[in-house]
Amino acid sequence: MKKKVIGVYAPANAAHIWFEEKYLFAKKQLEDMGFEIVEGNLVKDKRYQGYRTASAKERAEEMMELIKNKDIDIMMPVIGGYNSGSLLPSFDFDEIGKSQKKFFGYSDITAIQLAILKKTNLKPIYGGSLIPTFGEYEGISPFLKNTLDNLFFKENYTLEEPEFYSNKLLNAFTDEWKNKKREYIKNEGWKILNEGETEAEVIIANIDTLVSLLATEYVPNFKGKILILEEMNATIDSEERNLNTLKLSGVFEGIKGLIFGKPEVYDDRNSDLEYIDIIKEVLGKRDYPIIYNFDCGHTIPSLIISQDSLLSLKANHKTGIKVEILKNSYINS
């Protein structure tokens, strides 16, 4: 069987240069899993402009060059960061759609994923950036392996909570990421804000990145969907602003369900408010099921979900929470 080929590009931060050893480690882990890696020209040539590799146009050209390579099956960013949205005006969406490639990524890569959802028939995959997902020095966890097996091979499956999770950053500018064991926390489990049952296609997005795209031509219609929202750095004052912006923009109207992921970092700004408190305050009363503390986003390990998959959400205080993929768009598109 032909090896699956991953095209690696840097649409945002230049983490493959900042954390070169971790980048090479992650790349080797994917190769050991049986993938072949093809680097984009900016990654391969180690182009560098501090917070990014090159101009937005050059970063878009790197991505489009990989997309035109017919040997490449999967597109994967080295990491997220900031400013992937800057690439969107330079994309050839007809070419992207024709490529039928699988686009992985999360966080700032939300910008690329939502634009592809809006402009093509492709279904990107939320999760799976090279360095943060495959650069764990402990290796590929059983949870990640199971998540990938479900994604790649199963048409329907139940999404499971990890028993433990970590939101403790390990410094990759030093050797800490290799020398210090990651600290894990007992998972409190997914929690219910609003009971109910629903079934719909799912869209996953990073809150901060979604807000930066509002009122542009690159945002798909959320009506009739289940929406999963996640955040890396949830400082409560900025979260109130972001959530209120989504509310005023109508994002929470007409959806069929809402799921909030665990933030990697939470700062209550001396308010004594929990993350869920500001969610409740901004959302008010809703007639669809809402759960939170979900494991999709920046905490480790994290679920990887193909956008527009048909998802079932059941939330009941007596019987608990059940989240299922009824039709996996990774193998049905």
33 falls within a domain: yes
In a domain, residue 22? The reply is: yes
CATH number at residue 249: 3.50.30.60
* Judgement on whether residues 52 and 114 belong to the same structural domain of the protein: yes
What's the Cα-to-Cα distance from 66 to each of 12, 35, 86, 109, 302, rounded to whole Å?
16, 16, 18, 16, 27
DSSP 87: G
Q: Which of 135, 170, 202 is at the close of a domain?
A: 135
Q: Are 180 and 258 part of one and the same domain?
A: yes
Q: pLDDT in tens for each of the 333 residues of the chain? A: 578 999 999 999 999 999 999 999 999 999 999 999 999 999 999 999 999 999 999 999 999 999 999 999 999 999 999 999 999 999 999 999 999 999 999 999 999 999 999 999 999 999 999 999 999 999 999 999 999 999 999 999 999 999 999 999 899 999 999 999 999 999 999 999 999 999 999 999 999 999 999 999 999 999 999 999 999 999 999 999 999 999 999 999 999 999 999 999 999 999 999 999 999 999 999 999 999 999 999 999 999 999 999 999 999 999 999 999 999 999 987
Q: Is residue 180 part of a domain?
A: yes
Q: Are strands 290-294 and 320-327 parallel, antiparallel or unpaired?
A: unpaired
Q: Is 276 domain-assigned?
A: yes
Last residue of a domain, one of 135, 164, 183: 135
The answer as to whether 149 is a domain residue is no
Both 129 and 159 in one domain: the answer is no
Q: Which DSSP category does 3 fall into?
A: P
Q: Which among 148, 167, 166, 165 is positioned nearest to 157, based on CA atoms?
A: 148
Q: How many CB atoms lie within 10 A of CB 288?
A: 19
**142 occurs within a structural domain:** no
One domain for residues 247 and 100: no
For 111, the domain range is 5-135
If one counts the domains in the chain, the total is 2
On whether residue 70 sits in a domain, the answer given is yes
150: left (phi over 0), alpha (psi -120 to 50) or beta: alpha
Q: Is residue 180 domain-shared with residue 109, that is, in the same domain?
A: no
- Residue 140, in any domain of the structure: no
Half-sphere exposure of 302 (CA within 13 A, CB side): 30
